[in-house]
Structure 1
Amino acid sequence: MNRVVITGIGALTAIGNSVPEYLEGLRSGRSGAGPITHFDAENFKTRFACEVKDWDPTTRIDKREARRQDRYTLMALFSADEALQMAGLLGEDGNTISAVDPDRAGCIWASGIGGLRSLEEQIEIYEGGDGTPRYNPFMIPRMIANMGAGHISMRYNLRGPSYATVSACASGGHALAAAADDIRLGRADVMVTGGSEAVISKVAIGGFNSMKALSTRNDDPATASRPYDADRDGFVLGEGAGAIVLESLEHAKARGATIIAEIGGYAASSDAYHISAPHPEGAGAKMAMINALKDAGLQAEDVDYINTHGTSTPIGDTAELKAIKLAFGEAVYGANISSTKSMTGHLLGAAAAIEAVACILAIQHNFVPPTINHFSKDPDIDEKLQLTFNEAVERRVDVAISNTFGFGGHNSATIFKRYSE
């Protein structure tokens, strides 16, 4: 099978609108949470989120085209463009890839919910009228969850495998694994993968509030996402995108590409337990990590950094740590563990994408991003675990694993490693 390497990454998050900005945000332990500006949230139980700030999509996307698209597809295109530029794959026109057969290049992109904001806006327009349907002709293409992959493929003439993965908060992990498989098995030479989410809206905030899933720490949004803290009270909704360019090692070397990391292995599993709650003993999550290590041909003690799902929910955080201890055994105490959601918020279907980028940056720059907002110890959490609280840790990172778990019991674990001949 082909080795799968990474030659480009892109990031658009609440703590940075590019890879360099995101890196600085991760290193400094900056919170991206603040009052919601996308709509009037005064009457909602949660009135804050991790919004992308000071972002102009038209710096990379044509203004006319941008008016026709949902925010989540604009975020997809924006981050993919950064990743393809880093990979050195864009032609002179900036809109097509070069040095690759377009029939052997594709895009598998994730979004848990897709264009929810576009759907919400159109329903409000209809309900505010006289009952006559006056829907925007772009409403359906704006809202469906496959259009991230569709627009990236169309813009860059990627005629190979192209589709979306939708598995709630594990969507990005499944997209990356599927894209890597296409290269491993020889079906493609280059794949653009990742995920985007832009659902800071009335429907999303109201819906997650009704499930009691969100933090309601309205008096202090910046510290509301506090994974592993005794006083955690729910996750903070985030938005943004992460993009990764994957290539076969042979293809990347043939064109003289700079290789920034390698895909080690990956695995998926199911809790088969509950529509939203994780298995309390981490049964499915454990197997995703164990099988990812097997796929990578690595031992637990080889892992330097574990980027956890770590959403800041009372049940979820402890269940994941149980799963990690079961999967890693005593080797877990040698690895640094952190949840970058403490800074970016939870990007649902795009979470795995921006957290994959965080793992790649950790390997490139030899540091572990912190879990910020830790104030009080949870007596149910093993104190010997290196949960990397509040400040980044400088250490050599050769192998990192990223966990993402979704409603419905979907689990994904992906291993990234330092590239070497």
Structure 2
Amino acid sequence: MSTEPATTPAAALPRRLWGGAWRLVLALSVGMTAFALAHGVEPELGAGGSTGGWIALDMLFGVFLLVLYPLRHRFPMPVSLAIGAMSGFSALGAGLAMMAVISLATRRRVGEIGVVSAVFVASALTAEQIVFPGSQDPWWLMLVIMMVGTGVLILIGLYLGGRRQLLVTLREQAAGSLREQRAQLDAARANERTRIAREMHDVLAHRLSLVALHAGALEYRSDLGPGRTRDAAGVIRENAHLALGELREVLGLLRTESIGSAVEVSLPQPSLADLGRLLDENRGAGTVVGLSLPVELEADPVLLPEATGRHLYRIIQEALTNARRHAPGAPVSVTLGVRPVGRVTVRVENPLVSAAGSEVAGRRSMAPPSGLGLEGLAERAELAGGKLEAGPDADDRFVLEAWLPWKN
């Protein structure tokens, strides 16, 4: 599983130091070049010709700009305004002033950019008139040059700010996608565990309840003759073998689906055609089961789609298991129907109490209830596009009703 890249402060520190160092070196290089050009070309500065005084003021403002420059991230607007106001009087700080404008423009706030740009241009024009009063260039030419230069700096800042924002957005999207992928994987695992539990319950609950029922009869009935004892032991052995075989089938199906293999499993899934065998097993365990089929299914049990038939089989199987566990010996009625709206229905009902006088009356199955049967059936019906409801009615009967979609 992929993991999110972790950037610790210790790991990011060298990168931040390097980024600040090369920007500072570049700004100082630009400033020293501008300082040399400004004070090396002009023979006389200022109205009074005090060349040394203007050079000292230039250097002093340059030092101030160097001190203010590192504070631009903490106080972006005040620092940028101060740097812009002094930038015109310090050729040594020209590079720092340019970096400050670019840095502010990365914030992509039009109001801040407009105010600082105006101060930056006004400072340059004012300094041009005070420091170099003898310049032959018209003031409007200086204005155009400063506006174009400032515009270029702003465009660079906007580009860098947009690029940073894009990187932040991409990182957030990547982190969100990773979290979503993990959530989907966790949900898939939870669904897989639920499916495995449902299949295990559907396969084993019926067989084990029969085993427990007959084992309980052998334990509590001391009047059984050798023949009936032998028959009960045979039922236990047969259902134990069938339980092992069906468990092997489920595990094989799960393994086949998990590895994407095309290997066929040896045992088929039950269908509605196996319903007669299921009812015979329950009748052999002492449960009186009545079955009512519609004409369509009575004539051709495999008329239903394979998945629909399997779902109906599992629903009836679990309903019979619950009846045998909670009302042993009570008669059970199973009714299948076909609705014109494209549904096949099943209704299983039995009295809430055991049948009096039955061999198994008053004695619960020795297998503890799992508590997952009806819940698993409801999930199965919902996944198949249908619905299942179960509970006691007004006549003290437990009724399970379900419908599944089917187009005849």
The TM-score normalised by the length of structure 1 is 0.24
Higher relative helix content = 2
Larger Rg: 2
By relative contact order (CA 8 Å, sep 6+), the higher-ranking structure is: 1
The TM-score normalised by the length of structure 2 is 0.24
